Structure 1
Amino acid sequence: MNLKHLNLAPAEVDHIIEARWLATVVKDVPFLEHYSVMVRNDTIIDLLPTEQARAQYTSADRVSLDGHILMPGLINLHTHAAMNLMRGIADDLPLMQWLNQHIWPAERAVVSYDYVKDASLHACAEMLSGGTTCFNDMYFFPQATAAAVNQSGMRANLGLLVSEFANSYATDADDCLQKGFEAHDSWRGNLMISSSMAPHAPYTVSNRSFEKIITYAEQLSIGIHTHLHETRDEISQSETEFGARPIRRLAALGLLGPNFTAAHGVHLLPSEIDMLREHGCHIAHCPSSNLKLGSGIAPVSLLLKNNVNVGIGTDGAASNNRLDMFAEMRLAALLAKGASEDPASLPAHQALEMATVNAAKALGLDDRIGTIEVGKQADLVAVKLDELTISPCYDPVSHLVYTCGREHVTHTWVAGELRYSNGLYANIEPLELKEIIKKWQPKLKQHKQ
């Protein structure tokens, strides 16, 4: 039978998104022109040239984006969402002074389940409007963050925070672990939320606690997410207390491995980069936070040349002061070029990979998100490229990284659902965000430097 002569009716799908360009972030496919993405339920079921798609598929929800590029949702590989309401309370200070004299006192005063839920929802709104569909978080009261994630419709990997110090969340590291397990159990079966063990940093976690964390991460089959080599002071402190640099201490304890993500990695020796590669570890590069806190510039070019997987994060808004992945992509690329004195270092397509598929790999989610491919979740972002102030466009991927800002994001889909469109959220009301700010700003203002 010759199927060419059959008059087959177009197949029905839930959503069809037609775009001028498609940045799939699939290896050796820079971008596609005049392509459509077909979505059924939460999954991409086909990618076709738009004219062909119109003949083969129909949908009650067809979005035509003639001047846009469609790309995978951005993945923020390191942040503290609930610090969103702390932006600007302590600026222009080095890390330990910033923490000890301002951030930790502010947290002692306000951090609670309600605060974390409210502040995290505020962060989710900021991220969705800027094209971020998934974030890797580390903070107190992760169940509160989970409630905000569920309301917003985002995707998140939530850290089960561990620290030795008593606070409003837990009395000590063991209490942190117990509360973390309860949180992890509370979102079992939720396909939008995953977990990682989140020891805060080598300077706040003991060897005994790290050993427990390794065991529990293996038992639960989840990753480990921590701060590492963010400042020179951190390294000096470790050498004094433990007789070793932090990464060597963690290596001796057995933490390094393919499930290990280190935030920052600013001060790494070549031999330590070799260790990261040999153990299959991941780095969450946070360029804006590292610069603002005066911590330094991470050796990203050297990490990438040595095949260490590097993603991009914003860190929290208290040290950034934005959760803006477009700004981080651009800055990451420019810093790498300047530090290496090589303009070919970290080209635009690689910066985009760091903010999408590389981050997905670090979270163990690259089989589901990070690229636009058939069978993957429909986490998609539309960016308007034909505005006069950023025209003309010759290379849409280069334009994404070097020219566009988060203000050019028009649509954000997560798991096939439109969660943000032209200033409006599916599940977050602007009035709710205003009430959150009104509620918490007076309580935090007294801690402003």
Structure 2
Amino acid sequence: MNTDAADLLVRGARLITMAPGADDLGYVESGWLLVADGRIAALGAGDPPADVSAAEVLDVDGAFVAPGFVSTHSHLFTSASRGLGVSETLYGWCDSMLGLLRHAGAEDIYWTTLHGALDFLGNGVTTAYDFTDPRIPWEPMVAGVRQVVGRLRPADYQLRQVDAKTDAGLRFVNSTSLDDAVGTSDEVLGRFAQVCDYVAGLDPDVALGNAVTGGVQWSNRPDAAELEVEAMRRHGALNQAHFLETREAVEVQRSKFALYRDSGALGPRMIFGHFIQTTDEIIAAAAESGSGMSWQPSSNGRLASGTAKVPQMLAAGMTVGMGLDDQACTDVSDPWQNMRAGMFLVRAESGRPLDMMPETVLRLHTLGGAELLGVADRVGSLEVGKLADFVVVDPAAPDVGPLWHPVRSYVLACGLRNLKRVYVGGRLVSREGVSTSPLAAEASRKVREVLGALAREHGWPA
């Protein structure tokens, strides 16, 4: 075995590889992993062969080594807006949380996004589908319709959010709103193309792709779905729509599913985020088309939105991934909390423990999420050739007791308290919850300065 280019050798690891088709999620009781040029060069059970060496050797002494988490639905720019709108459901919470950010400029949103991206990395999330804050500022919604269309912010408002994720070192799919309430169809598509071209010029192993922020649920345009399909076609983009999320105007929401169906949007590049207020017919149509679903259980519980019928969707053959949603509505962007919240909500709803098992939620927050985003060739599992994104989680610090079923204990008994190290491309990005980024301290300072200044200037909160 040629290890001349090896950078890191991890040994003494309880590996959770998530290898497709492997028993027990590819668990290895004691194993090793070799990183070269940012990718997994080799891995195996037991001790590494005598001829395997690397510039750095890390003995994790029985800690779990598992894939970095994938969040399939995230709003990183909200990282400085936690703890707001606690007494509100979706639209009231949006009014509260976005009431200040609607006044933000491009540099302001850069720092809040950077803060959010570094927070994800510190919590073991190494890949995210991120909805950038639109160029049209938030306005109140009534029955799913925007009441006022405000100004269109400059183009760099969205581009600086891309810069922030890149500077943080987080892998991402960048999702952009069409802001279709302003301009002709050509102007709308031109603005989207500008962002797509910008993302396409970045490292393709960091900027993993482009996506449309599906807005049919809220758009006033009758051709909104057709416009999104054209944007998808031109740029090979995904589309993730916030859809059937809130309990408000449910029949109006459901009626808009036909707009996506009739426009030809349904298919493997179409993802429905939240997808709570569904019907059997809607689930069947989405599944038959190959459309996927992104599940945000912590957010759905926080905002009293409801519990998605995930077991039914999985049984119908839908590809499902898990997301942490806004850091302002999960408050702690904790993937272990999110997995457990999903398990508990489904079980409480159905009364059947087998409807959601620990192995299922772990897969949905790693490899399943990567499959949903079309990036499973690069992330989501520990396999030779894939990017070396992984977490080191020590079940002995603090001690969770005997590991009767290690994978289940990883999901149910471990968490951020046990997370010791996070690696992206074999590079240490967080240790004991402290970021290694030279921008981390400045990001923490800036979000306080920037948001404080905006609050004073605009008399917020009212």
What TM-score comes out, normalization by structure 2 length? 0.87
1:67 Cα offset (Å)? 3.0
**1:49 matched residue in structure 2:** 45
Query: How many Å separate the matches in 1 of 2:391 and 2:3?
Result: 26
TM-score normalised by length of structure 1 = 0.90
- 1:220 equivalent in alignment to 2:216: no
1:258-299 Cα shifts (integer Å, max 9, x gaps) = 001111011111111111111111111111111111111111
Letter in 2 for 1:136: Y
Q: Residues 19 and 195 from structure 1, CA distance in 2 versus in 1: closer, same or farther, beyond 3 angstroms? A: farther
Question: d(CA) in 1 for partners of 2:181 and 2:100?
Answer: 15
Tell me which of 282, 292, 297 is aligned to 2:302: 292
The code of the aligned residue for 1:252 comes to D
Q: What residue is the counterpart of 2:146 in the other structure?
A: none
**Structure 2 residue ranges without an equivalent (≥5):** 134-156
Partner residue, 2:252: 237
Which residue, out of 197, 207, 212, partners 1:185? 197
* Aligned match of 1:4: none
Please, which moves more after superposition, 224-233 or 245-254?
245-254
Question: In the superposition, relative to structure 1, how do residues 205 and 280 fare at CA in structure 2: closer, same or farther (>3 Å)?
Answer: farther
Contact kept? 1:72, 1:371, Cα under 8 Å: yes
Superimposed CA distance per residue, residues 345-390 of structure 1 (whole angstroms, 9 cap, x where no aligned partner) = 2211111110011111111101111111112111111111112442
Aligned partner of 1:85 in structure 2 is 80
**Conserved 8 A contact 1:86-1:444:** no
Partner of residue 134, structure 1: 127
Change (3 A) 1:160 1:215: same
The letter for the 1-side match of 2:43 is L
Deviates more, 1:394-403 or 1:203-212: 203-212
Shift of 1:307: 1.7
* Unaligned stretches of 5+ residues in structure 1: 1-7, 239-243
Equivalent pair of 2:75/2:132 in contact (CA under 8 Å):
yes
Aligned residues: 430
1:309-336 Cα shifts (integer Å, max 9, x gaps): 1111111022222222111111111222
| Pair 1:448–1:42, CA change in 2 (3 A) | same
| Alignment of 1:124 onto 2:117 | yes
Change (3 A) 1:298 1:10: closer
Contact 1:163 1:172 in 2 (8 A): no
What are the Cα deviations for residues 185-214 of structure 1, in whole angstroms up to 9, with x where unaligned?
113242211211112352236232321221
The equivalent residue for 1:115 is 108
One of 176, 188, 193 as aligned partner of 1:160: 176
2:115–2:444 contact (8 Å) kept in structure 1: no
The partner residue of 1:21 within 14, 19, 32 is 14
Q: How does 1:176-325 map to 2 (within 5 A)?
A: 177-189=189-201, 190-191=203-204, 192-193=206-207, 194-204=209-219, 206-238=221-253, 245-325=255-335
CA contact (8 A) 2:14 2:31 kept: yes
Deviation at 1:422, TM superposition (A): 2.4
After superposition, the C-alpha distances for 1:20-64 in whole angstroms (9 at most, x for unaligned) are 31001122332102111111102112112242x141311111111
| Contact kept in structure 2, 1:226 and 1:261, CA below 8 Å | yes
Deviates more, 1:317-326 or 1:271-280: 317-326
Q: Secondary structure at the match of 1:262?
A: strand
What per-residue deviation string (whole Å, max 9, x for no partner) do you get for residues 91-123 of structure 1? 220212223x4244323222x211221011111
The answer to whether the 8 A contact 1:142-1:158 is kept is no
What's the secondary structure of 1:233's corresponding residue?
coil
Q: Aligned-pair RMSD on alpha carbons?
A: 2.1
Which residue of the partner structure matches residue 241 of structure 1? none
Decide whether aligned partners of structure 1 residues 228 and 19 sit closer, same or farther in structure 2, where only a CA change above 3 A counts.
farther
Q: Distance in 1 between matches of 2:87 and 2:12?
A: 42
Instruction: Say if 1:281 and 1:308, in contact at 8 Å, map to a contact too.
Output: yes
SS in 2 for 1:67: coil
| SS of corresponding position for 1:38 | strand
Are the aligned partners of 2:346 and 2:356 in contact in 1 as well (CA < 8 Å)?
A: yes
Q: Which residue is 2:148 aligned to? A: none
Q: CA offset at residue 416 of structure 1? A: 2.5
Alpha-carbon distance in structure 2 between the residues aligned to 1:95 and 1:173: 29
User: How big is the shift at 1:247?
Assistant: 1.9
Distance 1:161 1:236 in 2: 24
SS at match of 2:128: strand
Provide the secondary structure at the position in 2 that maps to 1:296.
coil
Residue pair 1:133, 1:414 contacting (<8 A) in 2 also = yes
Decide whether aligned partners of structure 1 residues 105 and 429 sit closer, same or farther in structure 2, where only a CA change above 3 A counts. closer
1:440 deviates by: 2.6
What does residue 160 of structure 2 align with?
A: 144
Q: Which amino acid aligns with 1:121?
A: L
Alpha carbons 2:118, 2:440 under 8 Å: kept: no
Residue 174 of structure 1: CA displacement? 6.0
Residue 423 of structure 1: which of 427, 430, 433 is its match? 433
Distance of aligned partners of 1:444 and 1:286 in 2 relative to their CA distance in 1, 3 Å threshold: farther
| Matches of 1:98 and 1:10, distance apart in 2 | 53
In 1, are the aligned partners of 2:30 and 2:62 still within 8 Å (CA)? no
Identity fraction in percent = 22
Q: Which residue of 1 aligns with 2:375?
A: 365
Question: Are the aligned partners of 2:215 and 2:224 in contact in 1 as well (CA < 8 Å)?
Answer: no
